[in-house]
Amino acid sequence: MTRPVVTRFAPSPTGFLHIGGGRTALFNWLYARRFGGKMLLRIEDTDRERSTEPAIKAILDGLSWLGITWDGEVVYQFARAARHREVAEKLLAEGKAYHCYATPQELEEMREKARAEGRPMRYDGRWRDRDPSEAPAGVKPVIRLKAPLDGETVVNDHVQGRVVWQNKDLDDLVLLRSDGNPTYMLAVVVDDHDMDVTHVIRGDDHLTNAARQTQIYQACGWEVPEMAHIPLIHGPDGAKLSKRHGALGVDAYRALGYLPVALRNYLVRLGWSHGDQEFFTTEEMIAAFDLDSIGRSPARFDFAKLEHLNGHYMRSSSDSDLVDAIETILPEVGPPRGGPATLDAGMRAKFMAAMPGLKERAKTLIELLDSAYYLYASRPLTLEPKAEALLAEGGRVRVADLLPALEALAEWSTEAVEAAVRRFAEDRTLKLGQVAQPLRAALTGRATSPGLFDVMAVLGRDECIARLRDQAARVGA
RNA sequence: GCUCCCAUCGUCUAGCGGUCUAGGACGUCGCCCUCUCACGGCGAAAACAGGGGUUCGAGUCCCCUUGGGAGCGCCA
């Protein structure tokens, strides 16, 4: 009776996978998983002009990076053009569609006139009931759906509720172009039907299409799938997402240092909620996801919240997973920031050792990489202004003063180093911070860093002493 | 212009007629912790767009206004 759930993600390969598409894919994926169904992937490449191979690759890579998988082979819509044509011809034969010979110029005039008269811009049906014998010679016709003239078309949407259109407001859409290729409207309906799609979950920019597609389903005598039109994601300023704020490809989020698990969690809460729960494991998301809890109003993209989630997931990631994640983006993000493009065994070991302190204070992998500067920096260190200030204000003198005690240390461990520094501070009746800050500046080139003694232990005795001597040597200079 | 959708703190949202002097999260601002920065803990400021109804009772239902958004192709 009830068919197994089949959802689909159907991007057109005219660009990268943007954040809204990523969320749509996520929702489809979650819904299918929730009900033990399948999520299919269909590339809507019927626009031969704008569809590109790199875009297809970007979409597939984007989904994979996000951790979204699809079932079965990828369906390429253009390859199914013959079947779409067949359906259009069938509709034509059944009298549910007709040839229209109106030229582009005529259609343009129609729109102009309608606009001028304040009427809705729609095809006037001039070829709807004309006899085929009136067809002008040499003009290739399109096939239009003979849509109902009166009554109403209803879409019972899981998100938007019951949405009604008066059929008089809907015109006879083109099913088959004059060149014999199907339009998107026809192709979607035929493919969703043939692929046994039970639930269409997509952006609400398709809501009006849903009405027209419903008419095609009805003309074909097919069951209309369940629909869920989810609100679009807006930029931080409330306007439509543009390249300047959120409409980046998901690959951009990877380069920005976000973790897929964090992006997924952020995205799932954009438009969907489950009581007050903010954090979801993948399993929890799947178990809790449902269409009826999706909100109807558009959401704005907020990087601050994404960062918070990302920080949360970084802190709870294992050190090795984090180092792996850094290594994968390093070739792309390392060199431009003065960092390495790869980690050799020694450097990897240092990252591993420093990771507990590093991941605790970074919100993105980029921040983490930046705060790990002291690990891969070569002497003499470049001091950021705040670090320079710490050393200039008596800091170098203090470093020089402390140096002998450190050089005399028999054992170089977090504990031993800390004890030595604390003893030094006590002897001079200084607060620990008065000693620690100049030390930090000399050792890391920064005014902030992970715990100082951990830093010293990871860096090792020789490197620490050398960096401190670099600064001590500049006393009075 | 026409059709359709939407409207709770700055942002994401909870709320499905009475338990709302409206809850959580991010962000913001204090305080605590503290070698810095984060984390963490405690606390604060911060919202039902406006106006009409319906009802004993409305953030919750209806209408209007205003404000957002989407669509209106032989693009998808």
The string of pLDDT tens digits covering residues A232-284 is: 898 877 666 654 444 678 888 999 999 999 999 999 999 999 999 999 999 99
Of residues A410, A411, A391, the one with CA closest to residue A401: A391
Could you tell me if A326 and A407 lie in one domain? no
Which residues of A are catalytic, by number? 243
* A276 CA, B23 C1': Å apart: 9
Q: Is the CB of A450 under 7 A from strand B?
A: yes
> Could you say which residues 241-260 of protein chain A have a Cβ atom less than 7 A away from any atom in strand B?
none
Q: At what angle do helices A432-444 and A452-459 cross, to 10 degrees?
A: 40
Binding residues of A for ATP are 243
Could you tell me if A239 and A219 lie in one domain? no
Could you tell me if A101 and A221 lie in one domain? yes
Has residue A459 been placed in a domain?
Answer: yes
Could you tell me if A90 and A223 lie in one domain? yes
Has residue A248 been placed in a domain?
Answer: yes
Integer Cα distance of A193 and A333 in angstroms: 44
* A297 CA, B49 C1': Å apart: 15
Integer Cα distance of A346 and A323 in angstroms: 13
Three-state SS at A155: strand
Could you tell me if A333 and A293 lie in one domain? no
Could you tell me if A46 and A138 lie in one domain? no
- The domain boundary, picked from A259, A275, A300, lies at A300
Q: Is the CB of A444 under 7 A from strand B?
A: no
Instruction: State both tokens at A120.
Output: 């809705």
Could you tell me if A102 and A220 lie in one domain? yes
The pLDDT, as a whole number, for residue A476 is 66
Whether the per-residue pLDDT at A48 is higher than 90: the answer is no
Binding residues of A are 243
Integer Cα distance of A181 and A190 in angstroms: 13
* A316 CA, B4 C1': Å apart: 44
Instruction: State both tokens at A422.
Output: 């604390």
Q: Is the CB of A300 under 7 A from strand B?
A: yes
CATH number for A408: 1.10.10.350
CATH number for A133: 3.40.50.620
CA A83 to chain CA centroid, Å, is: 33
DSSP run (H or E) holding A61: helix A53-66
Q: Tens digits of per-residue pLDDT, A354-393?
A: 999 999 999 999 999 999 999 988 888 888 888 888 888 7
> Could you say which residues 382-421 of protein chain A have a Cβ atom less than 7 A away from any atom in strand B?
418
| E strands present in A305-421 | none
- The domain boundary, picked from A230, A252, A272, lies at A230
Has residue A307 been placed in a domain?
Answer: no
Give percent above pLDDT 90 in chain A.
56
Has residue A310 been placed in a domain?
Answer: no
Minimum-distance nucleotide, CA of A277 to C1': B24
Could you tell me if A275 and A404 lie in one domain? no
User: What residues pair up with A202 in beta bridges, in sequence order?
Assistant: A229
Integer Cα distance of A358 and A204 in angstroms: 42
Output the average pLDDT for chain A: 88
> Could you say which residues 422-441 of protein chain A have a Cβ atom less than 7 A away from any atom in strand B?
431-433, 436-437, 440
Q: Is the CB of A59 under 7 A from strand B?
A: no
Q: Is the CB of A447 under 7 A from strand B?
A: yes
Integer Cα distance of A166 and A175 in angstroms: 20
Could you tell me if A33 and A142 lie in one domain? no
Could you tell me if A184 and A276 lie in one domain? no
CA angle A457, A460, A462 (to 5 degrees): 145
Instruction: State both tokens at A406.
Output: 């450190």
Has residue A188 been placed in a domain?
Answer: yes
Q: Are strands A299-300 and A75-76 parallel, antiparallel or unpaired?
A: unpaired
Of residues A135, A64, A65, A150, the one with CA closest to residue A102: A135
- Mean pLDDT of the A11-15 span: 88
Could you tell me if A333 and A389 lie in one domain? no
Integer Cα distance of A210 and A24 in angstroms: 16
Rg (CA), chain A: 31
Task: Note down the domain range covering A103.
Answer: 78-230
CA angle A383, A388, A390 (to 5 degrees): 130
The model carries a pTM of 0.90
Q: How many domains does chain A have?
A: 4
Instruction: State both tokens at A396.
Output: 């170098």
Bond from prior residue into A356 cis (ω within 30 degrees of 0): no
Place of tokens 């039109």: A229
Could you tell me if A400 and A372 lie in one domain? no
Has residue A66 been placed in a domain?
Answer: yes
Has residue A434 been placed in a domain?
Answer: yes
Q: Is the CB of A207 under 7 A from strand B?
A: yes
Has residue A274 been placed in a domain?
Answer: yes
Whether the per-residue pLDDT at A1 is higher than 70: the answer is no
ipTM above 0.90, yes or no: yes
Residue A59, CA distances (Å) to A174, A184, A262, A362 in order: 28, 19, 19, 29
- The domain boundary, picked from A196, A230, A264, lies at A230
Query: Chain B: nucleotides under 7 Å from a protein CB?
Result: 1-8, 10-15, 23-27, 34-40, 68-76
Q: Tens digits of per-residue pLDDT, A104-121?
A: 787 777 777 777 776 677
* A286 CA, B23 C1': Å apart: 25
Integer Cα distance of A477 and A475 in angstroms: 5
User: What residues pair up with A240 in beta bridges, in sequence order?
Assistant: A234
Q: Is the CB of A127 under 7 A from strand B?
A: no
